[in-house]
Structure 1
Amino acid sequence: MITISIDRVIASKWEKTVVLLQNRTLRKFVPETERLNSQKLQRMLKRHKMVYVKPVKGGGGVGVMKINKLSNRNGIRFKLQNTTSVKRFKTFGGLYKSLQKQMKSRDYIIQKGISLLKYQNKLMDLRIMVQENLKNQWEVTGSAARIGPTKKIVTNVSSGGITVDFKKMLNHFYEDKTEQDQFLDSLHQMSLEIAKQLQKYNPNLKEIGVDIGLDDQMHPWILEVNTKPDPRIFFRDKSTIEKVVRYGRAYGRKYDLTPKFKHEKKYANKLGEIT
């Protein structure tokens, strides 16, 4: 167990995981996570066959890699995939040596791989924005499904992913409208609980972006919590971004809403109107 100083921004994915695991309600939604070293990676691959390795600090999917343990007649035992390439290895030593080269001097975590739900054969996950509102109460201010590019291991917009209305996506998984509403409400309640839990260790925390993955049983998994979330993920919904910016302005946050990617240009006028 690590000691986390109170009243400090928790930027480390490892520290956030430790904080969330201290909450009994949230514990069942946190994938098994370890600090990366050779021994722990071997154990995790033995247990789960698929894991993700992520930089302890950073966002946007940068540096994220996926490792699969394979059963292959040709002797290929491991597959290492990042956002641009796929490599295969016959030995764990070869895998780890390649991994170290890509990691450079950065610290990484290992996270149990979740077989995410797919939409049109593309990975899908969910971003939920939670902020302190004008009454200093936590409120869910936005939610969107992210659809990753074909064959990519991340769904981030910066990696070519697109965002869609998650409420509409639920039509593909629940026929009953009441079930849809109940499921979405349960995700919102979980996100609010995450915000409250992290705020215990960082009283100045005012906003988070929760990345949630759903497995084939519709069980939610907390993939990551961003303490400086980018509201541009909601660029299709002007009213959502207006609320996010209004709340953010109240606690001193400023957002760069300049479109950075091709699929945002269509909505550039909407973003530009919000100051």
Structure 2
Amino acid sequence: MEVITFPKDRVIASKWEKTVVLLQNRTLSKFVPDTEKLDYQTLQKMLKTHRMVYVKPTIGGGGVGVMKINKLSNKRYKLQNTTSVKRFKTFDGLYNSLLKKMKNKDYIIQKGISLLKYKNRLMDLRIMVQENLKNEWEVTGSAARIGSTKKIVTNVSSGGITVDFKKMLNHFYKDKTEQNQFLDLLHQLSLEVANQLYKYNPNLKEIGVDIGLDDQMHPWILEVNTKPDPRIFFRDKSTIEKVVRYGRAYGRKYDLTPKFEHEKKYANKLGKIKRSIHNFR
């Protein structure tokens, strides 16, 4: 197993390093998709095992640089990013095109998860975990992200929107007890992620866990962000206020300026949220 040493910083940038650390936890390893560093051999191997994979920049966020590869019949391949789709008759053709798009940056390959869809659009979750005022890990927010039509990512910066995840659960679980049990599972999973990363970086104060659900409602940890953006919770004033209160306690300052139309809409509904939080004690 690769040995990982994190810098003495609250931000852990490398997706690969975070994945390696999570895989060292037996409980969490069941929820982490098969992942490799991207090169010619590993891509070939992964496409033999999985008919769909995602490739992601090792460092970066917002869905930038993410691409999806499907292995089609007759040894053909389809490569899709946020703006285009290309098909290739050979693996070498696919790989050479990929190299050009990678621009000499390091990438990882991740087993593709057939995510649950809402109204034919991809859906995943963001769960926020923070160090609270008692210096304990606490889940402070959860939201569902709905991707734009035909997009391969759910990020708001790529046209996605956020919705109340508890309300979304009504579409998958009719029984309230089952809803609460499933939500508790996701929260416990996210807390375990925080605890595991904290073992390797005790300066960690907050994380945003991106979780995908497959058609069996099995949760998969798609990514962990150690500098999460709280604007995803604009729909819920109490959540935003708690996130900011905890963040201030450990010295984090958030840029809450709305960037996208749906954020501006909800910021206005919440009564000028920037001003209310500025005055919040």
| Structure 1 unaligned regions, length at least 5 | none
Please state whether the residue corresponding to 1:114 is helix, strand or coil: coil
* In 1, Cα distance between equivalents of 2:3 and 2:73: 40
Q: Displacement of 1:125 after TM fit?
A: 0.3
Q: Which amino acid aligns with 2:28?
A: L
Amino acid aligned to 1:240: T
Matched, 1:255 2:254: yes
Deviation at 1:263, TM superposition (A): 1.7
Alpha-carbon distance in 2 for matches of 1:5, 1:39: 26
* Corresponding residue number in structure 1 for 2:180: 181
Counterpart position of 1:15: 17
CA distance in structure 2 between the partners assigned to 1:115 and 1:22 by the alignment? 25
Aligned position for 1:5: 5
Where 1:222 maps in the other structure, the secondary structure is strand
C-alpha deviation, 1:264, in angstroms = 1.3
Query: What runs of 5+ residues in structure 2 fail to find an aligned partner?
Result: none
Q: Letter of the 1:221 partner, please give it.
A: W
Cα root mean square deviation, aligned: 1.1
Task: Tell me the amino acid that sits aligned with residue 2 of structure 2.
Answer: I
Letter in 1 for 2:169: L
Cα distance in structure 2, aligned partners of 1:176 and 1:108? 41
What whole-Å deviation, never above 9, does each CA across 1:31-66 have from its counterpart, x for those lacking one? Answer: 000000011101101111000000000110000000
Alignment pair present for 1:136 and 2:135: yes
**Given the alignment of the two structures, is residue 215 of structure 1 paired with residue 214 of structure 2, yes or no?**
yes
For residues 133-157 of structure 1, the C-alpha deviation after alignment (integer angstroms, 9 at most, x for no partner) is 0000000000000000000000001
What residue identity is the alignment partner of 1:3?
A: V
Find the counterpart in structure 2 of residue 150 from structure 1: 149
TM-score (norm 1): 0.97
Which letter maps to 2:82?
Answer: T
| C-alpha separation in 2, matches of 1:2 and 1:62 | 27
Please report the TM-score for the alignment, with normalisation by the length of structure 2: 0.95
Q: Deviations over 1:145-194 (max 9, x none)?
A: 00000000000011110111111111111111100000000000000000
Q: Which amino acid aligns with 1:237?
A: D
Q: Which of 31, 43, 46 matches 2:45?
A: 43
Q: Secondary structure at the match of 2:73?
A: coil
**How far apart, in 2, do the equivalents of 1:138 and 1:151 lie?**
36
Q: Write the mapping of 1:29-68 to structure 2, written as runs, cut at 5 A.
A: 29-68=31-70
Is 2:4–2:20's contact at 8 Å kept on the other side of the alignment?
Answer: no
- Greater mean alpha carbon deviation, residues 76-85 or residues 14-23: 76-85
Task: Determine if contact 2:15/2:58 at 8 Å carries over to the other structure.
Answer: yes
Moved more, 48-57 or 3-12: 3-12
Encode CA deviations 1:209-258: one digit per residue, 9 max, x unaligned: 00000000000000000000000001111111100000000000000000
Identity %: 85
Per-residue deviation, 1:10: 2.3
For the residue of structure 1 that corresponds to 2:145, the secondary structure is strand
Distance 1:116 1:226 in 2: 19
Output one character per residue of 1:79-124: Cα deviation in whole Å (capped at 9) or x when no partner: 0000111111111111111100110011000000000000000000
What is the count of residue pairs matched by the alignment? 272
Answer yes or no: is the 8 Å Cα contact 2:56–2:67 preserved in 1. yes
Distance between the aligned counterparts of 1:70 and 1:183, measured in 2?
35
